[in-house]
Chain A
Amino acid sequence: MASLKRSVDSDPFAANISSKVYVRSTKSGKVQKIVREVYLRQDIPCSSKLCTSCLDTAPRDAAGRPTPFVLSEAPAGTSVFRQGHYLVPDTNAFLTAMDLFEQSSAFYDVIVLQIVLEELRNRSLPLYNRLISLTKSEEKRFYVFFNEFRLETHVARQEGESVNDRNDRAVRKAVAWYGQHLARTKSKQVPAVVMLSNDRDNLRKAKQENIPACSLAEYVKQLKDADTLLDMIPEDQDQEMIKEKRPGEPFYPEYFTMSKMMTGVKAGLLHQGIFNVSPYNYLEGSIRVPAFPKPLVILGRENINRSIDGDVVVVEVLPRDQWKEPSTQVIEEDAITKNENADAEETGDIVSEKERKALQEEVKRTHSKTTEGHAQPTAKVVGVVKRNWRQYVGHIDQSSVSQSAQQGRKQDTVFVIPMDKKIPRIRLRTRQVAELVGKRILIAIDGWDRGSRHPTGHFVRSLGELETKAAETEALLLEYDVQYRPFPKTVLDCLPKEGHDWKVPESLEDPGWKDREDLRGLLICSIDPVGCQDIDDALHSRPLPNGNTEVGVHIADVSHFVKPNNAMDAEASIRGTTVYMVDKRIDMLPMLLGTDLCSLKPYVERYAFSVLWELSPDADIVNVRFTKSVIKSREAFSYEQAQLRVDDNSQNDELTTSIRTLLALSKKLKQKRLDAGALSLSSPEVKVQMESETSDPIDVKTKVLLDTMSLVEEFMLLANVSVARKIHEAFPQTAILRRHGAPPKTNFDELANQLRVKRGMDLSVESSRALADSLDACVDPKEPFFNTLIRIMATRCMMAAEYFCSGTQAYPEFRHYGLASEIYTHFTSPIRRYADLMAHRQLAAAIGYEAIHPTTRSRGRLEAVCKNINVRHRNAQLAGRASIAYYVGQALRGKATTEEDGFVLKIFSNGLVVLVPRFGIEGLIRLRDLADPEPAAEFDADSYTLRTSGSRELEVELFQKVRVRVADQKDEATGKRGVKMELVSVY
């Protein structure tokens, strides 16, 4: 009987075929044995420009050209490998020190083995993506070598060999092969092929086999700027090489195994969610889980158990006797752990003495409460499903730096205080303390083991001196994950060739005119803030013979220039939105489009997408149509200019009358909206005035509201609603819409209670209408700002509006709560928002202007796009606000301290938060800031009152108007220049 199995002797191709067997567990719980046949080839090139033999056999594309080779013919050398070298890192090297490879000073000509790439993907997806983008960069010369498919470098697993050993052997074999292969090229200087690994066993074996190999540290020491680079080798790895893991008492409880967690979550006994740290108390976190309407509270270091804000964790609810009320105290990490020594071997409990004291007070307070109903369920973290660590911006805690470290080059351990207060301090080992002190630095967390109170991290790069504009702005962009790199060439290649000379074609026969309406004859104008360059909307109105009015909103036709699925579209979809900083704008689309070709500048012809209504005198829509058009704006007004023009009775030209008509209609529209229950919410908005030349901030102004602003706003809302209806009708499953969920009633509990207790006012939240009415009723005759204050606080109780794909929600869920509109989308700012661009494409398809591109129709892709732009949108807002906060601080800098009126927004047992409307800033005033020594205080949580006695006697309550002294102050903790407030008096 001939065997059915492939036999090595009989089959001439047997050597070319191998197989790989593994077990795959699927999400649904299936466990399968997977067998993959591997066909080994000999035409996978080494991709070194030195090699000619590979070039002859390399596979060619349809045009007969091989892919260009990557690795340089004259790679850089090191002090040991003077002849030049190629690097072959193993998986560990990438896992521990990806930042090193991203350096521009070294790490060129790297061979990324397929086996390493695959292993990396299994271990860490973000690192894998970073490596992939490195392999795509032309200057770094990273080459992915498919060693598993090349006959000479394929390694079959041996009997009793572990997967890791086998992979290490594959790496060594590939390195050896590369060495031999390159030696055969008859070049004068054959570069060394060096394996980079931190695995001692692998290094030892390489030595035995005479393969050039280095550990990361050894290798980096051969480079020129070794000191800087050495810091990037993560700490624990370093220690692994130097000394065995020190035996320490573990501080934190061990995590559950993954399967145990998953079983628990499935059984409903454990809960999974995203861990959030309270911005006021770093020892208090909360987690929203699907099982409960209210978030669970996680109190104390031990219960938080090494989770960091944003991690996906699994928690277990604590027994009832451990339930607590969320803290009414402000606890800042630096205040409590100030004197910890970063270098000291940590002994004893994880909860430091001071922390414990803070906790005791907490317990005392909770116990003094008679009403047990106040206690909230608490939970503890039992495991982390997914870390959401990113790179953090921070600065070195001056106090953790020892004197000797200031001078020497020896490695030292210091604390880094992240800018984000929710992130715990990070322990960092560095050799360049002296240089880094006083700088903004970027660091990455490597890990947090049970034996360490703080997570450990490594240095990535320095952004510059603290408080320099460049460093601070970059820090903000990094913190909010804003893509601020210049547009790559591939994106710029998608722009029209004519550049700034591009014009609307003159001939009406031109394909650009196809299905475009000629609206150049209409009196169109734009109204925007002063100095606006990216004008994406313009308006017109004209009376119709039947007494109705035709109103047109014209939006820049960005979709004409940004075609689906090209590089520019991909980049825009990643950026999602334009980010406005005080002195900087991070564009979503290249400048040429944003500020010129798509900007509806006056006096030039531009492509537009127009929404044209016929409105009755009562501002009811008689009909609406949409068309691509060509327009010529007559004038670009600023809000102020337009307002002046409208108010000036002597102006009676056609343009002005048409603006007046628009204004009258917009007021009717607004009234209708308010009647329907639209909320008028508030957030403190200020504007930083800059000196024109140095762009240094000189003053802060609150924004003034003009009628013309609401004019533009009303018609944009109307356009958005009309477009939303149209695209939803055309694409019921895939329309991109925007919704604003009704906030859960519990969100308002606290505010409603505060209002009832302090002012005897009622906040009804049954509907947006009821809320609007009750907000209107919240008026303090003596204090005009009180209403705004309540609105600001109410806004913070709201849900965030979000983009979504219509197929994912039921129609009633489409509702926009704040605008009281059944359906809504974003259409009017395609230059700066990607969602609008998608809406443009969908609308163009809906009116039959063009065929819909598959990506604009695929629901999966649209959902991904929505998810991304929601995140980007939020980050952009936060970055903008942070930028304003920074500049407000800068504007106050050096000025004599000013006294301002403020309002108490939040009250704690040891401090209060005050909002100063004039600057739109909030500041925390701690008890200990009131007087020295710290006055004794009595806090009545039921009536939100804080009474101090002793060194200073005060009684402060919620919503109270106070007089504060505002001065700028450099916050030692975050290194931010911020605003420091001092309580002067209570009104």
Chain B
Amino acid sequence: MASSQHVLLSPAELAYLHASLSLAPPIRLDGRSPTQFRPLVAETGILPGTNGSARICFADGTEAIVGVKAEVERTAQRPGEDTVFFEEGGVGTDDADEEGETRDGVDKRKGDASWVEMTVEIPGLRDDDSGTAFLSAMLSEALLADGEFAKRLWINRRFHWKLYLDIILISPPLSYPLPLLSLTSHLALLSTRLPRLKSEGDEDPFFDDDWAAAPHLYPRTAATTTRPPITLLVMAVGNNIIFDPSKEELTVADVALAVSVTSATSPSTLSKPHTTDAEAAAAAETDPESGRNLRLLSIRTIDPPSRLTPPGVANAVNAAYGAAGTQKATLEAQTAAETEAVEGVWKAPRGGAKRAVLGALVQKVLERGGVVDEVLDALEAVELG
């Protein structure tokens, strides 16, 4: 779905909104602080037939449901890979099994992006709508970007779990739904459990039939804080960085960005990020307090709807206000109206994000005890099951 929605605001209103958001500190329509999120209600385990599910409802009335289903799938053997998978089966002694374990210890686990299939459904839109496809791409990109997620689906060298994420927006898309869908997916993955594996080594997998014994995809022990990624919508107006913009706020954004962040366990097991993003690499640092190690996974710019808003007309060039000067004067005034900002007159923003703004934004996102920590803490507090 397109981020641009028809917002029925006049240029004057837009100009007012823009002006108030540009103040330091900015004044938001609903009185929130720049980093404050709108209140949301969340619950998990709403779909009993799934491996994990969640539902989140934003205060503006948008609501999403995510269901996660897992299936066992045979891993395609590629030529050249070691296809001998049963050598220890023939011997059948205990040492053979240990051998197998030690080999696992080396961690030959490999993940593949095709092990996750994600579908996004937005009411009223075709599933091949460019907006929907873009949303889906962004969400799965965030999920797979760290290269760690697909590894969790590894069962043995011959089998893996195939994960189906069905993301459904059940309300009309009142605001750009990316953060909602991302948070709901995050929560659903947090609550996802996979049947406990009973077989060993590279045997055909065989599972415990006790659902209560099924471990979580993201185990919640103190030792591991690895969490599924979240994608946040952040916008900048002037030099102000504003989190979780409402629909109206987004219409005056200078820049809108989708920022994907994840939290990994500890830097020791963390392989050096393969994101080329220099900033992300620089920002990957441990937070000693929460034990959370935030990693920036991706930043995508979103075409803000503000670009499509009609500009206001300055009185100086408005014929209705008697701006019927000379031909030349009119031309100058018009040029000025196109290029320079006129106080109190709305003008659609032009150009990309400024480097300084981007830098500040990344800093803000990865800040210790900052917004992301807050969001993750809040989601973690949601009762599972």
Report yes or no: A33 in contact with B63, Cβ–Cβ below 8 A: no
Q: Which of B57, B72, B200 gathers the greatest number of chain A CB atoms within 10 Å?
A: B72
B377 at interface by CB-CB < 8 Å: no
Report yes or no: A5 in contact with B43, Cβ–Cβ below 8 A: yes
Q: How far is the CA of A21 from the CA of B45 in the complex (A)?
A: 13
The majority secondary structure among interface residues of chain B is loop
Hey, which chain A residues are within 8 Å of B72, CB to CB?
29-31
B204: contacting residue among A1, A3, A23, A263, CB under 8 A: A263
Q: How many residues of B contact A (CB 8 A)?
A: 36
- Closest Cβ–Cβ distance, residue B141 to chain A (whole Å): 28
Hey, which chain A residues are within 8 Å of B63, CB to CB?
1
Q: 1/0 per position for A230-273, CB-CB distance to B under 8 A?
A: 00000000000000000000000000111110111011011000
Report yes or no: A382 in contact with B92, Cβ–Cβ below 8 A: yes
Hey, which chain A residues are within 8 Å of B211, CB to CB?
21-23, 33
Report yes or no: A33 in contact with B41, Cβ–Cβ below 8 A: no
Q: How far is the CA of A833 from the CA of B246 in the complex (A)?
A: 83
Report yes or no: A4 in contact with B204, Cβ–Cβ below 8 A: no
B48 at interface by CB-CB < 8 Å: yes
A23-B207, A31-B195 known; A316+B55 contact, CB < 8 A? no
Q: 1/0 per position for A27-45, CB-CB distance to B under 8 A?
A: 0011101010000000000
A3-B43, A30-B71, A30-B72 known; A260+B207 contact, CB < 8 A? no
A1-B57, A30-B71, A31-B195 known; A260+B208 contact, CB < 8 A? no
Hey, which chain B residues are within 8 Å of A634, CB to CB?
none
B203 at interface by CB-CB < 8 Å: yes
A163 at interface by CB-CB < 8 Å: yes
Report yes or no: A316 in contact with B90, Cβ–Cβ below 8 A: yes
A25 at interface by CB-CB < 8 Å: yes
Q: How far is the CA of A278 from the CA of B48 in the complex (A)?
A: 54
Q: How far is the CA of A516 from the CA of B63 in the complex (A)?
A: 75
B11 at interface by CB-CB < 8 Å: no
Report yes or no: B199 in contact with A260, Cβ–Cβ below 8 A: yes
B51 at interface by CB-CB < 8 Å: yes
Hey, which chain B residues are within 8 Å of A262, CB to CB?
203-204, 206
Q: How far is the CA of A986 from the CA of B252 in the complex (A)?
A: 117
- Closest Cβ–Cβ distance, residue A163 to chain B (whole Å): 5
Q: How far is the CA of A33 from the CA of B211 in the complex (A)?
A: 7
Report yes or no: B50 in contact with A33, Cβ–Cβ below 8 A: yes
Q: Which of B41, B55, B74, B212 gathers the greatest number of chain A CB atoms within 10 Å?
A: B212
B89: contacting residue among A23, A163, A264, CB under 8 A: A264
Q: 1/0 per position for A369-392, CB-CB distance to B under 8 A?
A: 000000000000010000000000
A19 at interface by CB-CB < 8 Å: yes
Hey, which chain B residues are within 8 Å of A667, CB to CB?
none
Report yes or no: A5 in contact with B46, Cβ–Cβ below 8 A: yes
B129 at interface by CB-CB < 8 Å: no
Q: How far is the CA of A258 from the CA of B43 in the complex (A)?
A: 39
Q: How far is the CA of A267 from the CA of B92 in the complex (A)?
A: 15
Q: How far is the CA of A467 from the CA of B276 in the complex (A)?
A: 91
Residue of A nearest to B158 (CB): A263
Residue of A nearest to B61 (CB): A1
Q: How far is the CA of A1 from the CA of B70 in the complex (A)?
A: 28
- Closest Cβ–Cβ distance, residue B187 to chain A (whole Å): 14
Residue of B nearest to A21 (CB): B211
Q: How far is the CA of A256 from the CA of B90 in the complex (A)?
A: 10
A520 at interface by CB-CB < 8 Å: no
B205 at interface by CB-CB < 8 Å: yes
A918 at interface by CB-CB < 8 Å: no
Residue of A nearest to B206 (CB): A259
Hey, which chain A residues are within 8 Å of B203, CB to CB?
257, 259-260, 262-263
Q: Which of B46, B51, B203 gathers the greatest number of chain A CB atoms within 10 Å?
A: B203
B210 at interface by CB-CB < 8 Å: yes
A22-B211, A262-B204, A382-B92 known; A5+B45 contact, CB < 8 A? yes
Hey, which chain B residues are within 8 Å of A256, CB to CB?
92
A157 at interface by CB-CB < 8 Å: yes
- Closest Cβ–Cβ distance, residue A115 to chain B (whole Å): 15
B198 at interface by CB-CB < 8 Å: yes
B302 at interface by CB-CB < 8 Å: no
Q: 1/0 per position for B38-68, CB-CB distance to A under 8 A?
A: 0001010110111100010100000100000
Residue of B nearest to A262 (CB): B204
A24 at interface by CB-CB < 8 Å: yes
- Closest Cβ–Cβ distance, residue B204 to chain A (whole Å): 4
B214 at interface by CB-CB < 8 Å: yes
Report yes or no: A4 in contact with B206, Cβ–Cβ below 8 A: no
Hey, which chain B residues are within 8 Å of A266, CB to CB?
204
Report yes or no: B195 in contact with A4, Cβ–Cβ below 8 A: no
B279 at interface by CB-CB < 8 Å: no
- Closest Cβ–Cβ distance, residue A863 to chain B (whole Å): 28
- Closest Cβ–Cβ distance, residue B77 to chain A (whole Å): 13
Q: How far is the CA of A24 from the CA of B195 in the complex (A)?
A: 10
Q: Which of A53-73 contact B (CB under 8 A)?
A: none
Q: Which of A162-190 contact B (CB under 8 A)?
A: 162-163
A25: contacting residue among B46, B49, B89, B209, CB under 8 A: B209
- Closest Cβ–Cβ distance, residue A318 to chain B (whole Å): 11
B86 at interface by CB-CB < 8 Å: yes
Report yes or no: B199 in contact with A23, Cβ–Cβ below 8 A: no
Hey, which chain B residues are within 8 Å of A264, CB to CB?
86, 89-90
Q: How far is the CA of A258 from the CA of B204 in the complex (A)?
A: 10
Report yes or no: B210 in contact with A163, Cβ–Cβ below 8 A: yes
Apart from A259-B206, A260-B200, 16 more pairs, CB < 8 Å: A3-B46, A4-B55, A5-B43, A19-B48, A22-B211, A23-B211, A25-B207, A29-B74, A33-B50, A33-B51, A162-B210, A257-B199, A258-B206, A259-B199, A263-B202, A266-B204
Q: Which residues of A pack against B, CB within 8 Å?
A: 1, 3-5, 19, 21-25, 29-31, 33, 35, 157, 161-163, 256-260, 262-264, 266-267, 269-270, 316, 382
Task: List 16 A–B pairs whose Cβ atoms lie within 8 Å, in order of A's numbering.
Answer: A3-B43, A3-B46, A5-B45, A19-B48, A21-B211, A30-B72, A31-B71, A35-B49, A257-B206, A259-B203, A263-B204, A267-B89, A269-B86, A269-B89, A269-B90, A382-B92
Which are the 7 A-B pairs with shortest beta-carbon distances? A259-B206, A259-B199, A1-B41, A1-B57, A35-B48, A263-B203, A21-B211
